[in-house]
Amino acid sequence: MRPWRLAAMVVVFATTTGCTAVPAWDRARLAQPCMLPEPRPMSAGFAEHVYDYREGSVGGSGIVGGGCGCN
Amino acid sequence: MQLRAARALGAAFATLVSLDAHAAPVATVDTRGAVYTDTDATTIVTSAAQATVTPVPFLTVQGQYLIDVVSSASIDVVSAATPSFEDIRHEGTGGLGYHDEDRAISGTYIYSVENDWRSHTGALTMSHDALKHQLTVSIGGSFTYNDVGRSGDETFAKRLLQGSATLGASVVASKNDLVGLTYSFFYLDGYQSSPYRFVRYFDTLDSAAVSQPETVPDRRARHALAARWNHHILAKSAVRTQVRGYVDSWGVVSGTGSVELMFGLGDFEVAPWVRVYGQKSATFYEGNYQDARRYMTVDRELSTFLDAFGGVRLGYRKKNLGVVEELRVDVDLTGFAFRFFDFPLLEERAGFLGQLGFGLSFE
């Protein structure tokens, strides 16, 4: 799939799923650690490190990854 | 070793996350140790320390040092006629982040060095909140310069360049749901083989077994699209799911799915999780080459396989301890198993990854 198609999908996704407006005072649950995009960046980074070098794929996670010293 | 850009971009994203999550503390310090071991005779011990300082409310400075100690007698190493090897990698990271009410921007630099590899990476990531913070759009890019060597061979010198771009959107779908989509693109140009791997085949013209260094294309374009859905279920508890699709110009196609149940119990946190992954091999990969080809590899990470990871994360957070605003301790216990379908030297691999983290935040 070409990059511009994927970019278009991102835009469509973002603009069509955000139609349920949630006021700021009703977002307390969304601010909890369990709802963060990545609540434990260092821990997730170490795990991503393993995935990146034990699998043939990379990307999509938006967190720390890579590097094991074994080329 | 081709993933410094992913690392830098990830670190930049992590800085953005920390800007949102830890806006109040003036300083945080985190240390982490990890042990990886598998049935293919590989052990990796990793230690890292990270510090973040917020001198003024809108500015964050971050630094990290990481060291990997790798020892291996895996089937890759043994088949290269080397009994085992040990290596140490040092990595230093520096980052700077700015944020205001609607925008965040962060830059990251990473320097990594080991006996046969040296890399420099720079990354820049920006995010912008729109629609009354209902939508967050992120964009990032990175560039990595790698010098590749070969242990014990001073004459071996190769270069690998990598650029990457990431586009992401996160949406508040309801008062209990956050959804996000991230697209990542990587382009690599340069030496991407391993100087230690050799392909063996039988030359029918000479009627003799031949062994030659593996060869893969110099260029590789990689695409990943991931969707994330976090659903709040109880007080301090959520179901976190993610799916990812991946394709690249070498013909590798893969899918990933994961789910985590994160329960908050007072100051404690328990999070069992599982992740599954499946991959189709690169078009030029073969388990047994019958004759010479332009591209030949015995890299099992380019073969067809399935794997599953699973485990539990245990966390403890205590706030308001005098000058210490928050104390954090966590333990991650992970088991995993691989099944290779067309890699004759190894059909299965299992292993364990354990992590212990400790952190403090100061006001």
pLDDT tens, N- to C-terminus, chain B (363 residues): 444 445 545 544 444 444 444 445 699 999 999 999 999 999 999 999 999 999 998 999 999 999 999 998 777 766 666 667 888 999 999 999 999 988 999 999 999 999 889 999 999 999 998 888 889 999 999 999 999 998 888 899 999 999 999 999 999 988 899 999 999 999 999 999 988 888 988 877 777 888 889 999 999 999 999 999 999 998 899 999 999 999 999 999 999 999 999 999 999 999 999 999 999 999 999 998 988 889 999 999 999 999 999 999 999 999 988 889 999 999 999 999 999 999 998 999 999 999 999 999 998
Of the partner residues B4, B174, B183, the one whose CB lies closest to the CB of residue A20: B174
In a mutational test of the B interface, the residue from A15, A22, A64 whose CB has the highest number of chain B CBs within 10 Å is: A64
Q: What is the mean pLDDT of chain A?
A: 72
pLDDT of residue B75: 76
Sign of CA dihedral A29, A32, A34, A38: positive
Distance separating alpha carbons of residues B198 and B117, to the nearest angstrom: 19
Query: How many angstroms separate the Cα of B237 from the Cα of each of A22, B263, B294, B358?
Result: 19, 4, 53, 22
Task: Tell me the pLDDT band of A9, cut-offs 50, 70 and 90.
Answer: low
Task: Tell me the pLDDT band of A6, cut-offs 50, 70 and 90.
Answer: low
Q: Are B272 and B284 in contact (CB under 8 A)?
A: no
pLDDT of residue A59: 84
Total tally of structural domains belonging to chain B:
1
Report the CATH number at residue B231: 2.40.160.40
Question: Which chain A positions have a beta carbon within 8 Å of B91's beta carbon?
Answer: 67
Are the beta carbons of A69 and B114 separated by less than 8 Å?
Answer: yes
pLDDT of residue A20: 65
Are the beta carbons of B89 and A67 separated by less than 8 Å?
Answer: yes
Q: Are A50 and A66 in contact (CB under 8 A)?
A: no
> Which range marks the domain in which residue B267 is found?
4-362
- The H-or-E segment that residue A47 falls in is helix A41-54
pLDDT of residue A15: 53
pLDDT of residue B21: 45
Domain ranges of chain A: 33-58
pLDDT of residue B268: 95
**Residue pLDDT, tens place only, A35-69:** 988 888 888 888 988 898 899 888 877 543 333 34
Query: Is residue A7 pLDDT above 80, yes or no?
Result: no
Of the partner residues B68, B238, B282, the one whose CB lies closest to the CB of residue A68: B68
Are the beta carbons of A68 and B264 separated by less than 8 Å?
Answer: no
Residue of A nearest to B335 (CA): A47
Q: Could you say which residues from 46 to 65 on chain A have a Cβ atom under 8 Å away from some Cβ of chain B? A: 46-65
**Residue A16 sits at the chain B interface (C-beta within 8 Å):** no
Q: How many DSSP H helices and E strands does chain A contain?
A: 2, 0
Distance separating alpha carbons of residues B244 and B227, to the nearest angstrom: 6
- The H-or-E segment that residue B14 falls in is helix B4-21
Count CA within 13 A, CB hemisphere, residue B318. Answer: 7
pLDDT of residue B78: 64
Query: Is residue A16 pLDDT above 70, yes or no?
Result: no
Distance separating alpha carbons of residues B256 and B118, to the nearest angstrom: 30
Residue B190, Ramachandran bin (φ over 0: left; ψ between -120 and 50: alpha; else beta): left
Q: Which residues pair with B255 in a beta bridge?
A: B245, B278
Are the beta carbons of B178 and A30 separated by less than 8 Å?
Answer: yes
